[in-house]
Structures are given as structure tokens and as C-alpha cells.
Amino acid sequence: MHRIFTMSFASVYPHYVTKMERKGRTVEELDQVIEWLTGFDDAQLRRHLDEHTTFEDFFAEAELNPGVTQITGVICGVRVEQIEDPLMQKIRYLDKLVDELAKGKPMDKVLRSA
């Protein structure tokens, strides 16, 4: 089991927030991306943050957006669409979306809107 699986989502979230703020994006945009990916509403997201849910449990409760199959590209030197471990792939999908947002990609592109 990879170490990140047992890390709390809440321990990583502040790093996402810092990255967003440093790149001129907002926490609301970050939350929108997370909610799009996971199917959580704002209250569910806050609950996971408050309860320090592990990544494993966080994604176990998530209902991934059907558009997730459109997330492609390289993150940490690996193509996200080729990651074999399902949980690691979900975590890397999130990383990829956060990176795209931080790089200034328009929200409709990040959310794979038609």
C-alpha cells in the first residue's frame, strides 16, 4: 500500500490551496474542481476535511464524474490514463486537475465541459 493512501486528504488540501493562491486562482475554484471530480457537495467536502478522512476513504465515498475518462496527460512523470492502481489513478486525476487549474487553464476546459 502506498503511503499517500493512508494520508488524510485534509493534510494535503492546504498545499492545494497555497498553490491556487500563488497562481492567482481561488479556493472556490479549487473546491469546484474537487467537487466535480468526486461528486461531493460543499458540505460533504467540508466533512471530509474536518474528519481528516484518508485518501483511501475519501475516494471510496466519491462517485467519480463520468468525464474523468477525458483526463489525460502526464503527472509525476506518469500518464494518468495508464496508472494501473485505481486509487492511485484517482489521486493523480485530482493532481492533474489541480495542476491544470494552477496553470491558468479555463475552468470549462479543466472540467471537461462540452
- The CATH class for the domain spanning 3-106 reads mainly alpha
The answer on pLDDT for 105 being more than 80 is: yes
Closest CA to 4 of 94, 105, 114, 68: 94
Measured CA to CA, the distance from residue 61 to residue 64 in angstroms comes to: 9
Tell if the pTM clears 0.85, that is, is over it. yes
Closest CA to 23 of 100, 86, 82, 114: 100
CA dihedral 82, 83, 89, 95 (to 10 degrees): -80
- What mean pLDDT is reported for the chain? 95
Output the pLDDT for position 114: 57
The residue ranges of every structural domain in the chain are 3-106
The answer on pLDDT for 17 being more than 90 is: yes
The answer on pLDDT for 24 being more than 80 is: yes
Q: Using pLDDT thresholds of 50, 70 and 90, give the confidence band for residue 113.
A: confident
